[in-house]
Every structure is written in structure tokens, then in C-alpha cells.
Amino acid sequence: MEKLRYYIALWAAKLSIVALKITKRNGTNFPGVVALKICPKFLKYVDKPKKIIGVTGTNGKTTVCNLAIDMFKADGTVILDNSMGSNINSGISTSFIKGVNLFGKCKYEQALIEIDERSAPVLFPYFAPDLLVINNLTRDSIMRNAHPEFIGRLLTEELPKTTKLLINADDLIAVGIAPENERKYFGIHRMDTDVKECINLINDMQICPKCNSILEYEALRYHHIGKAVCSSCGFKSPACDYEAFDVDTDKMTVTIKDAEGPYTYRLLNDSVFNIYNVVSVVSLFRELGYSQERIAELLGKIEIVKSRFSEEEVGHYTIVRQMSKDKNALGASRAFDYVSGRPGDKELILMMNCLGDTHHWSENVCWLYDADFELLNKENIKNIIVTGPRAKDYYLRLKLAGVADEKISFVEKELDAPKALKLQKDESIYVFYGTDSIVLANRVIDNVKKEIAERGEK
């Protein structure tokens, strides 16, 4: 009976794909939603590729997956992925539906699946990744994800014992996941920018996981990401199987040492966050048996996805799109850190309001008090425009961060925000927006261009 239900679900979902194509609708999750509605255990029965690689973690999993997919394409390797859908059960079901024919036979040998870490309980009972990359576990949505220790516990309880893990050794919360599973580690040895004391508001690994004494960081990148040691019990960050040395952001290269020795690869972006993404994808391909030379060659052929960060020269100005995931304090802090550290004068438009929440309730703004707005209190940030439903909260938070009153502009409506730009020649204008505001951000950027045309070139 269950099997019959599965086939009905499969055919209904396949039919929905045709219907979406005919009606030219996007609905990337819809086939999976249909299938799961008819057969809740659809993921159990659907025929899957022989080898499944998963990528999970709080931040960077989409970038890592996109890099890996581009590298597989450049290599001529056909792989099933969920880049067109979501990373929860409906999106992953949609990918598997596309991967099978009408008789339910899978057409792919391998799959690369981005996995939402919170969805583990509805995924792992039905399929076991052969290899799972875990980038990091950090704070995310307070409402959905609570805190990283909770997500770590969830993954430990749900992960199949057969799944081999490839973990960021510089994240001790991730290191603590599923201790019985076979694993390898990647990480970054030392960077010139390393510190010993955390300057961030969020640091979720301050005590030793073994003896609860205060941990010391020999090299700290940000938040709890770095190399720690406990002077009380001797606990320390694990040794890396794939360890990055000699990060050179001038030449945009990184050397990664593994069992075969060091090899130098191209970096695609100079932010530490993205350097970890490259180290993670190189480690993944090494685990899949690719040679160092071939990985370097494949990395040379690809570009980082531009949807999250892209810049455009408009006259004497540079307009930068800076996506910062809604309600994600750590993501915002990383973006603030990166932007504030870039050279040149700049103006910022902050519009990471969770517009989805605005429709039915009022956004929980606790995350603003976990995010390092203090990083925006820099001499070369000349004007910060706060706008949208939570503009008053941003205004107060910036005041608490020590930003001078004359550097904060309050504009109620996002589309009017560009009017408050001061437009000093040769500066950069950063528009911070969340996943709910992509379309609105495009319209704001159009208005920035209009302001530049009308005022900026005079």
C-alpha cells in the first residue's frame, strides 16, 4: 500500500513539473510538496543516486555547493543537485523526483545535496549521505534554530552512523557533532589577522567541552572560529587532514597541505568566510579522489556566485549589493566586518528587515543585540541610512554602538533611502538587504543610480 502511495505521489509530482513548465511558474519546491503531501515517507521510497554527498552548517553551505557544482560541471561530471530548490525536505524531494524516470528509476550516479541542518529529523531517517561536509554551526534564527549547541545535538541524534563527516576543525561546536562517526577535518593554520581574544558579541564556545574551564584561543578568526586549547585538561582543537597555510590575499592564493603535501589553489574572494569555503570544497574534492592538480585546474575555471555580493561602477561611485541573511546576527556581523575593513569612504543603507514577518507579526529584534553593529563605528563609514519597518530599532542599536548622530540618517520608506545619501565622489555605497528584500533591494539600487545621475555627478 505504501509503495502504491509512493508511485501515485511520484506521478502527481512529475505531472506538477509539466504543469509548472506550461504555466511558466517557478515553484521550485512544489513537486516535492505534492509528493510529501500524498506520501509522507516519499524520501524513503524514492530511488536515489548510489553516492550522496551532503553539505550542511549554518553559513556558507550554498556557496560551497555552488562552487562544487560548478567544479563538477567544469570536470564534465554529471551530478544531481538541489541548487534550484530549497535545502529542506520539499526541495530535496523535488531534486530526487527530477532524478528519477516515470518508473522511479534513478538516472544519476551521484548527488550533491545542500542540507538545512534543522531539517535533519525529517531527512536522515530516509537517506544517509555517504559524505557530509559541515562548515560551521553558529547562531541563526532565534525562533527556529535556538542556539548552535541545540543544532549540534539534533545532528548528533539524527545522523546515520554510516555517514562519514568532513568537518571544519576550527569550529569546536561542529567538531562535537556525532563523535562516533568516521571523520576528517579541514581548517586554516594561521592568518595574519588572527587574534587571541574575541571581539565579537557572539562567542558560543568559551568553555572547554570536556572540563568546562575557560578555553584559550591560540588563534581566533571571529566568534568561536579558531584554534583553542584548554590549559586545565589539555583538550584542544583537532589536527587537520586538510590544512590551509599561506593565505595570500594579494595574490589571491591559498596553500593547502594534505597527506600528499602542500599545493597552492586560487582564492575566489578575500573574506575569511569565503577562504573557509574554498578550503572546504578543496577538501571535499580530495576526499572524492580528485588530484590536487585537477582541483586547482577546476577552481581556476569558476567564479563565486554574485547574487550575495556584487559591485557595480556608476560614474564616480561604486554600488555594492551586500546580502545579509534575515535575523542572522552572525551573518550580519561577518558582513559588517568585511565591509568596514574595505578601503575607501562609504555610505551604507541598512534594510535587512524581515519583510515576511511584517505581514503577520512584528520581527523579533533580539538578533540586533547579538550582531556587532560596533564594527560600523568606523571613520571611513560616513553615513548609515536606516530604513524600513525596523528602522527605529536600527537607529537605537547604532546609537548604542557608539555611532555619532550625524552619521545616522533615518528614512521611513526603503525606496526613499537613496535621497539621504551624501554622495561624496569616489565613495562606495553598500546596500545591506535580507533574503526577504531581494526585489525591493533592486528597486532601491535603481533609485541610488537615479540619485547619482541627478546629484552625484554635479
Element (H, E) at 263: strand 261-266
- 442 interacts with other proteins by CB under 8 A: no
- 216 interacts with other proteins by CB under 8 A: no
Q: Which is nearer to other proteins, 33 or 146 (CB)?
A: 146
In the shown chain, the binding pattern of residues 400 to 419 toward other proteins, with x for contact by CB under 8 A and - for none, equals x-------------------
In the shown chain, the binding pattern of residues 324 to 353 toward other proteins, with x for contact by CB under 8 A and - for none, equals -----x------------------------
Q: 217 exposed, middle or buried (CB, 10 Å; 0-12, 13-18, 19+)? A: buried
Grid coordinates belonging to 241: 587532514
Q: Can you tell me which of 361, 379, 406, 458 binds other proteins, judged by CB under 8 A?
A: 361
Rounded distance between C-alpha atoms, residue 172 and residue 3, angstroms: 42
Rounded distance between C-alpha atoms, residue 266 and residue 59, angstroms: 21
Q: Which is nearer to other proteins, 47 or 357 (CB)?
A: 357
Q: Can you tell me which of 368, 376, 411, 444 binds other proteins, judged by CB under 8 A?
A: 368
Q: What residues form DSSP beta bridges with 320?
A: 311, 430
Rounded distance between C-alpha atoms, residue 305 and residue 70, angstroms: 10
Q: What residues form DSSP beta bridges with 319?
A: 312, 429
Packing angle of the helix pair 89-99, 30-38 (nearest 10 deg): 100
- 229 interacts with other proteins by CB under 8 A: no
Terminal-to-terminal C-alpha distance of the chain: 74
- 392 interacts with other proteins by CB under 8 A: yes
Rounded distance between C-alpha atoms, residue 64 and residue 277, angstroms: 6
- 207 interacts with other proteins by CB under 8 A: yes
CA atoms in the 13 A half-sphere facing the CB of 105: 2
Considering only residues 82 through 121, tell me which ones interact with other proteins, judged by CB under 8 A: 121
Query: For the chain, how big is the Rg over CA atoms in Å?
Result: 23
- 24 interacts with other proteins by CB under 8 A: no
Q: Can you tell me which of 12, 396, 415, 440 binds other proteins, judged by CB under 8 A?
A: 396
Q: Which stretch binds other proteins (CB under 8 A): 21-29, 148-156, 305-313, 440-448?
A: 148-156
Considering only residues 185 through 204, tell me which ones interact with other proteins, judged by CB under 8 A: 201, 203
Contacts to other proteins by CB under 8 A: 121, 142-144, 146-147, 149-150, 154, 201, 203, 206-207, 212-214, 329, 357, 360-362, 364-370, 392-393, 395-396, 399-400
